[in-house]
A and B are shown apart, each in its own frame.
Chain A
Amino acid sequence: MIEQYGPLVERLLSGAFICPFSDPDNYRRLQNDEVRQALDEYLRPLNRRLAQSQGSGVYFLGYLTFDEQARDVLKSQFSQTLQSLMPLLEWMLMVQEALGRDGALTAGDSIKLQEFVLKTEDNQSLRHRLQLLANDRFFNSQADSVDAQVKQIFKRLREHGYVRQPHAERQYFEVTGKVDYLVDLVRFIRDEENLPVSDEAEQEALL
C-alpha cells in the first residue's frame, strides 16, 4: 500500500508541510488512519514519524526518538525559525494592513503582488516599513524599488513554503498552512515563556 504514497513520502521527507490548501489530495490521504500508520511504519527506520500541529492541522515529519544529533538539529532549526519570526510577523501585519484585510493572514488567503506593491507605493509609512523588512537578513534584498523588494520577499517566502505560486508566470500567491503553523508557534512560545502578549481585543462595552 505504501508504494502509491511515494510522492507524498518524498514531499514529507523533503521537509514540506502538507496542508489542505497547498496539497489537498495528499492532505486528504493523510486524514486516513491507515495511511498514517503505514507511513509511520515506513518512516520508522529513518527515525521519522508523521507529526501534526494541533492548532492548524498541518502535517510534517518529526523525529521518532531524540538522539543527540536529532536534538542538535531541532535546536538549530528552532533558533533559525525564531530569527525569522520577527520578519515573518511583520510581513503578515504589513499585508493585512496594506490590503485592508479583516484579520491576520491565514491559509488559503490569496495575495496579488501588484495590489500589494501599489498599496505600499502609495503609503509613505508602509514604504518605509517595507524597506526595513526587505533589508532583514531573512529576506535579504539589496533592491531599492518597491517592486523588486516585494518580489524578493515573496520569492523567499515561497522557498520557505509560507506561500505558493499556483502559476509560475503569474504574480499571484496563496498562503499555505505553514503560516498557520507559525501562529501556533507564536501562541506556544507565548504560553511557554509566559509572555505578556494578549490575544484579547480591547473590551468593548457592547460585547
Chain B
Amino acid sequence: MVSATQPEFREQQLTSSMLALGTERLALIGKHSSLLMQAYLQGELAESQLSDRAIRKLVQANLIYQPDESRGFILRPQLADLIASMVTDENRRHINADVADKLETIRLRVKTYRDAQQRGDTTKAQFQLQLLTGLVHDLGGQFGEAIDSLWHRLNSNFGFVASLADKIRENHRAQQQIGRLLDGLNYVDFAELIALGEGDVHLRKLLVSQLQRQLNAHHSSLLEVQRRLVQLMGRYREQQARSVLLTNMASFLREHSNFQVGDYAWRSQVPELINQAQPIVPAAAISLDQHAAVEVATGLMANMPRPALNKESVPSEQAERVATVANQEVEARQQALKADVEALLLHVVDQQGKQQAGVSALQYRREKNLNWDAEVWLLQILGEYQSLPPQQRHLFSLRRDEQRAHPFNDLLLIADLELSFQPASQGQAQSLT
C-alpha cells in the first residue's frame, strides 16, 4: 500500500466530513418528517411548531426556503421530488428527460479517467471510474424512475384525478413526457459510446454492455407504455363521446317531445339494429307416445318431491272422510299413512316394465313391514287413488281382488288391490271405479 499523497489525503478528509454532514442532515429530515410531510401536502411549513434554530438548520440543509418575505417556508423542489417519488404521488412526480447534460459529463469524466491512467495515477483513475459508474447508473435510473411513474399512472387508470376530462389531460401530458424521453434517448449515440470505451475493459463494460443494454430495455418499455397510453386515450375519448352523445340526445328529445323517426321496419333493407324478433317461449309437455319419453317421465315422477305431489292432489271427499280425525296423534299417523301410500304409488311407477303383473297392495305392505291394518291400508289406497288429478289417475290401473261376502249376499269385500303404472297410450286403465 502506497502512503497517501497530499491531494489524496485532502480528498479523504473531504469524504469523511461529507459523510458526517450528510448523515446529520438526513437525520434532520427524519427528525422533522411529520412537519415536512405536512408542508409537502399543504404547501407551507408550520413555522410556529419549530424553533428558530430548527428552521435555520433546515434552511442550511437546503431542505426548505422562503421564496419571498410575504410567504412562509416551503420545501425545496429536490425534497418535494424525493417525497413525490417515495409516495408515488403522480400529481407531483417529476420526470427528468434531460440527457444531454449527463452525456456531456460522461464525456468529460472519460477524458479525466484516461488522462489519469496515462499518468499512471491509478487512484485518481479509480475514483473517476467510480464517479462514472455512478453517472451511468443515474442515467439509467432517471429513465427507470420515469418509466415506473408512467406505468403507475397507466395502471391506476389515472386514478389520482377525478374527472374524465382531467384524465384525458393527464394522459396527454404523459404522452408528451414519453416523447421527450424518447428524444432524450435519441441523443445517446452508441457509436460514440463504443468509441469512448475503446481499448479499456472497464469503460467498455460500463458504457457499452451496461448502459447500452439498459437504455435498450428502457426504449422498448417506453414504446410499450406509449402504445398502452394511446390505447387508453382511445377508450377515454370513446367514453367521452358516448357521454356527450347521450347528454345531447337527451336534451334534443326534451326539446322535441313529438320527434318522429322514419319507418325503418318497412324499408326494403331493414336495419340490422332494429331487427329484433318477437320472443317465442317454447312450451312443452311430456308426451308419452315414445318409449324414451315414457322413461323420462317415469324418472321425473320418481324424483318428484313429495310436498309438490301433496299440493297437487286435491283430496277427494272419500280421502277427506278418512282424514277428518281431530286427534293430533291420529292425524300424525294419518300423515304417515298417506306418505306410505304415496311411496307405494311411486314404487308402482318404478316397477313399470320390470314385472308383468301389478303390485299387490297387501304384498307390498308385508314386504315393507308396514303395520297398518289391512282394511285401513286398502281404504287409504282407494282414497288416495281417487284423489289423484284425473290425468294422473289415468296413468295407474287399479284392480280390485273382490269376494262376495256370502254366497247369498251380493256385498263384495275387497281382499286386495293390484296397482300398475300404465301410460295412456298402452291401453285404457282397466278398472276405473
**Residues of B in contact with A, size category:** 35 or more
Q: Which residue of chain B is the closest to A63 with respect to CB atoms?
A: B277
Q: Mark A15-42, 1 if CB is under 8 A from B, else 0.
A: 1000000000000000000000000000
> In the complex, what residues of A have CB within 8 A of residue B270's CB?
63, 66, 71, 74
Most chain B CB within 10 A, of A61, A197, A206, is at A197
Q: Report if A10-B168 is in contact (Cβ < 8 Å); known contacts: A61-B276, A73-B277, A193-B261.
A: no
B278 CB contacts on chain A under 8 angstroms: 15, 73, 77
Choose among A60, A90, A188, A201 the residue that contacts B276 (Cβ–Cβ < 8 A): A60
Selected from A86, A192, A207, the residue in CB contact (under 8 A) with B168 is A207
Within 8 A of A (CB), among B222-277: 239-250, 252-254, 261-266, 270-277
- Cα(A195)–Cα(B246), bound, Å: 13
A148 at the interface (CB under 8 A from B): no
**With A14-B281, A207-B172 given, is the CB distance from A186 to B244 under 8 Å?**
no
B265 touches A201 (CB 8 A): no
A104→B239 contact, CB < 8 A: yes
Which residue of chain B is the closest to A86 with respect to CB atoms?
B253
- Whole-angstrom distance between the Cβ of B227 and the nearest chain A Cβ: 20
A92 within 8 A of B: yes
The reply to whether the CB of B164 lies closer than 8 angstroms to some CB of chain A is yes
Measured between beta carbons, the chain A residues less than 8 angstroms from B162 are: 100
Give the residue of A46, A183, A185 whose beta carbon is less than 8 angstroms from that of B242: A183
Question: Judging by beta carbons under 8 Å apart, are B264 and A106 in contact?
Answer: no
Q: Check A160 for interface membership: any CB of B closer than 8 A.
A: no
Tell me the complex Cα distance, A189–B263, Å.
11
Q: Which residues of chain A have C-beta atoms less than 8 A from B7's C-beta? A: none
B residues less than 8 Å from A184 (CB atoms)? 273
Neighbouring A residues of B281 by C-beta, 8 Å: 13-14
A197 touches B249 (CB 8 A): yes
B273 touches A199 (CB 8 A): no
Q: Are B280 and A103 in contact (CB under 8 A)?
A: no
Inside 8 A of B400's CB, which chain A residues have their CB?
Answer: none
Interface residue? A53 (CB, 8 A): yes
- In the complex, the answer to whether B252 meets A195 with C-beta atoms within 8 Å is yes
CB distance from A137 to the nearest CB of B (A): 13
Is B167 close to A, CB under 8 A?
yes
- Give every chain A residue within 8 A of B276 (Cβ-Cβ): 15, 51, 60-62, 74, 77
Given contacts A13-B280, A62-B275, A184-B273, contact A93 B247 (CB under 8 A): yes
Q: Chain A nearest CB: distance from B249 CB in Å?
A: 5
Judge if A187 is at the interface, Cβ distance under 8 Å: yes
Task: From known contacts A103-B164, A185-B273, A197-B245, infer whether A93 and B250 are also in contact, taking CB-CB under 8 Å.
Answer: yes
Q: Is B279 an interface residue (CB 8 A)?
A: yes
Q: Are B167 and A106 in contact (CB under 8 A)?
A: no
B168, B244, B246, B250 interface centre (most CB from chain A within 10 Å): B246
B261 close to A189 (CB less than 8 A):
yes
Among A70, A74, A190, A193, max chain B CB count under 10 A is at A74
List B contacts of A169 (CB < 8 A): none
B195 within 8 A of A: no
CA distance A103 to B280 in the complex (A): 36
The 8 A CB mask of A85-129 against B (1 = contact, 0 = none) is 110011011001000101110100000000000000000000000
Please report the total number of A residues contacting B with Cβ < 8 Å.
59
A104 to B240, CA, bound (A): 8
The reply to whether A200 and B249 form a contact with Cβ atoms under 8 Å apart is no
Task: For A104, list chain B residues within 8 Å (CB).
Answer: 239, 242-243, 245-246
Question: Which listed residue, B241, B250, B264, B279, touches A201 by the CB 8 Å rule?
Answer: B241
User: Which residue of chain B has its CB nearest to the CB of A52?
Assistant: B272
CB distance from A26 to the nearest CB of B (A): 16
The answer to whether A54 and B272 touch across the interface, beta carbons within 8 angstroms, is yes
A86-B253, A186-B246 in contact; A206/B172 too (CB < 8 A)?
Answer: yes
Q: Within B157-205, which residues are at the interface with A (CB < 8 Å)?
A: 162-165, 167-169, 172
**Contact A188 B240, beta carbon cutoff 8 Å:** no
**Cβ of A173 to closest chain B Cβ, rounded Å:** 19
Q: A: which residues have CB within 8 A of B? A: 10, 13-15, 46-48, 51-54, 60-63, 66, 70-75, 77-78, 81-82, 85-86, 89-90, 92-93, 96, 100, 102-104, 106, 181, 183-190, 192-193, 195-201, 204, 206-207
The 10 closest A-B pairs by CB, nearest first: A103-B239, A15-B279, A62-B275, A199-B245, A74-B265, A75-B265, A199-B241, A104-B243, A89-B250, A102-B164
Give 17 pairs: A residue, B residue, CB < 8 Å, sorted on A. Answer: A52-B272, A54-B272, A72-B265, A77-B274, A86-B250, A102-B239, A103-B240, A103-B242, A183-B242, A187-B245, A188-B271, A190-B249, A192-B264, A197-B252, A198-B245, A201-B165, A206-B172
Show the binding face of B for A, using Cβ within 8 Å. 162-165, 167-169, 172, 239-250, 252-254, 261-266, 270-282
